[in-house]
Amino acid sequence: MADVSISREEVAHLARLSRLALTDAELERFAAQLDVIVGAVARVQEVATADVPPTSQAFGLVNVFRQDAVAAPLGAPAALAEAPAAEQGRFRVPRILAED
């Protein structure tokens, strides 16, 4: 079994990256659990894989395309029907901090 572990700081970082606001208690618990899990999945590193290509998709399909044809959109009312907040036909979202 590979001797790998994951620290509480790393877990806090992962939570930030994945937009999960964890309480301290959750952070403790998850850090302990993830430490065990990461140690277990790290077993894959025991396998010799030099020259083994990775598989993303089992069946090697290529070139699946659609024709450049227009299809009827949903329409704004249907698109906005489940929006938590909407204004002027748009999705209203809280203020964005980071500039893209």
Residue 25 within binding range of other proteins, rule CB under 8 A: no
With contacts defined by CB under 8 A, how many residues of the chain interact with other proteins? Answer: 74
Residue 43 within binding range of other proteins, rule CB under 8 A: yes
Picking from 3, 24, 4, the residue whose alpha carbon sits closest to that of residue 12 is 24
Q: Which structure tokens are listed for 54?
A: 């990775």
Single out the residue of 3, 24, 25, 84 in contact with other proteins (rule: CB under 8 A): 84
Question: Minimum distance from CB of 1 to other proteins (Å)?
Answer: 10
3-state class (DSSP) for residue 16: helix
Residue 7 within binding range of other proteins, rule CB under 8 A: no
Residue 36 within binding range of other proteins, rule CB under 8 A: yes
Residue 57 within binding range of other proteins, rule CB under 8 A: yes
Residue 85 within binding range of other proteins, rule CB under 8 A: yes
Residue 24 within binding range of other proteins, rule CB under 8 A: no
Q: What is the Cα–Cα distance from 22 to 65, expressed in whole angstroms?
A: 42
Q: What is the Cα–Cα distance from 100 to 79, expressed in whole angstroms?
A: 24
The structure tokens 């509480």 sit at 8
